[in-house]
Chains A and B, each alone.
Chain A
Amino acid sequence: MESSRDDFVIAIRSAFLKKGTQQRFSLLSLILFSLLLLILSNLNFKVIEYTKIGINEIVYRSSFIVSGPENFIKNSYIKIQNHFALYKENEKNKSELANLKAKYLVNEFVILENQRLKDIVDDYLIKSDTIFAKVLSDKGSPFLKSIISNRGSKHGVKLGMIAADEEYLIGKVVEVNYTTSRILLLSDLNSKIPVIIEPDGLLSILSGTGKDYGVIQYVEKNKPFTEDSIIYTSGTGGLFKAGMPIGRMNKISLNDEKKIDFFSDFSQLKFIEIFSYIKNEDK
């Protein structure tokens, strides 16, 4: 009994302390160092913050290069698939275009009228200078749904700025480095934004799920949602401008979980716009 305990201690000690032929550090010292890093980064220690920014810069760039071959294969596959679906899509687009042209004229009038009315109540916000950014990495992490853009504080990106894919809201800037920044996507588990569900005008909270859809929270169970329900930002809390389109109600889950299909496909983002909204007179 005594000797088996000794064996265990020897094996454990050897595992922790013994260095291999080409090992510079023992496992124990590296484990202690990672624990120290964890604790200091949790305490927002300045040196660790700077080290982290340095590592971020290296890793984001190298991640972009390393992902190159796989991105190429993936993009080629998508391209081929798209080619096969081209004819059908063209037919659909033609009929949609005809519809949209008619709606456009009506919209133009409504937009101008809305602009005029908002100007009167001093709620008319305009876009700040838009920063166009390339997506360096769209890491599908199980912990964080985020993308890395190639624009940072050097290009004027600030914390909390809005990220959009054309007109569609996709997230906000949560980390700014010198030449890169991280954008937390709406699909992230920790993302919660105030929204309005049109045409009923219901105010609610859109929560990320960590998957490729969001869910509507804090609404009554028997609210009459239809598959035509569109989700826009409500502007409550002042973080986002009201009326930015986000997604459409998933028709399969109208009654239970109330899933939202985002307009923008977060796994296909290549270029994004980063901006903030400012009051008309601040410009």
Chain B
Amino acid sequence: MTVLTNKNIIKKLISKIPLILLFVSVLNDYDFNHLNLKYFSFNFSYILIFYYSLKKSESLGYSYIFIAGLFNDVVVGTPIGLSSLVYLILCVSAAYLRNITLRPNLIKDCIFFLLTILIVNSILFVSLNYIFGYKLYYFDQIINITFTFLLYFLFSNLFDFFEKNLVGNDVR
């Protein structure tokens, strides 16, 4: 009985790993969004949120994503509510894609993801630059978008592997 309970706890803990990853990535000092490398940066939170909202929406939960956005705003120093908005737009986009997709395909997911991050980064760029008076480098944003898009392939497969082999769920 004890063994069974322990197993349950471990299983529950493993199923919460995406959520833990999300909070670690927004609270971390060294997030992948800015690795201090000149031509390399990517936004891990975008990939994580989009993937799990698309494939397994119950894993993260919109409220937690909203809170993670607030935390990210505080850590990064952007106006409070902006990251939450961006994260939730990613969720909307993923939910829309989920609703219209009959046969899931990684390439289609990636293209939709690219469109979405182009839109959310544009919103971020415009609002930060023109409304809140922050100065952003256009080139840095492009680099960030490119690598976030390219790394979606890698992380998508990693998350698939994780879900199939560790959590035991077959993601669609």
CB–CB B58/A21 < 8 A: yes
CB–CB A30/B84 < 8 A: yes
Total interface residues in chain A, CB < 8 Å: 55
CB–CB A30/B99 < 8 A: no
State how many angstroms separate the Cβ of A276 from the closest Cβ of chain B. 23
CB–CB A140/B30 < 8 A: yes
* Residues of A contacting B: mostly: helix
Cα distance A59–B80 when bound, in Å? Answer: 13
Q: A20-B58, A67-B28, A74-B30 are in contact. Are A141 and B81 (CB under 8 A)?
A: no
CB–CB A31/B76 < 8 A: no
State how many angstroms separate the Cβ of A104 from the closest Cβ of chain B. 36
Q: A27-B91, A140-B36 are in contact. Are A59 and B74 (CB under 8 A)?
A: yes
CB–CB A11/B41 < 8 A: no
Closest to A37 in B: B81
CB–CB A20/B57 < 8 A: yes
Closest to B71 in A: A59
Is B146's beta carbon under 8 Å from chain A? no
CB–CB B77/A141 < 8 A: yes
Cα distance A7–B99 when bound, in Å? Answer: 10
Contacts of B144 in A (CB 8 A): 142
Contacts of B80 in A (CB 8 A): 37-38, 41, 48, 51-52, 55
Contacts of B81 in A (CB 8 A): 34-38, 41
Is A190's beta carbon under 8 Å from chain B? yes
Cα distance A176–B151 when bound, in Å? Answer: 38
Q: Taking each of A67, A137, A190, A212, which has the highest tally of chain B beta carbons within 10 Å of its own beta carbon?
A: A67
Q: A23-B62, A59-B27, A142-B41 are in contact. Are A38 and B75 (CB under 8 A)?
A: no
Is A189's beta carbon under 8 Å from chain B? yes
Chain A positions 31-66 with a Cβ under 8 Å from a chain B Cβ = 31, 33-38, 41-42, 48, 51-52, 55-56, 59-60, 62-63, 66
Is B70's beta carbon under 8 Å from chain A? yes
Stretch of B6-14, B112-120, B132-140 lying at the A interface: B132-140
CB–CB B29/A27 < 8 A: no
- Cβ 8 A contact of A33, one of B41, B66, B74, B89: B66
Chain A positions 1-33 with a Cβ under 8 Å from a chain B Cβ = 7, 10-12, 14-16, 18, 20-27, 30-31, 33
Q: Which 10 A-B pairs have the closest CB atoms?
A: A144-B77, A37-B81, A15-B95, A67-B29, A38-B81, A34-B84, A11-B99, A15-B96, A66-B27, A141-B76
Task: Give me 26 A-to-B residue pairs in the complex whose CB atoms sit less than 8 angstroms apart, sorted by A's number.
Answer: A7-B100, A11-B96, A12-B96, A14-B95, A23-B62, A24-B63, A25-B62, A27-B95, A31-B92, A33-B66, A34-B84, A34-B88, A38-B81, A38-B82, A42-B79, A59-B74, A59-B75, A63-B27, A63-B29, A67-B27, A137-B75, A140-B31, A140-B36, A143-B128, A190-B135, A210-B135
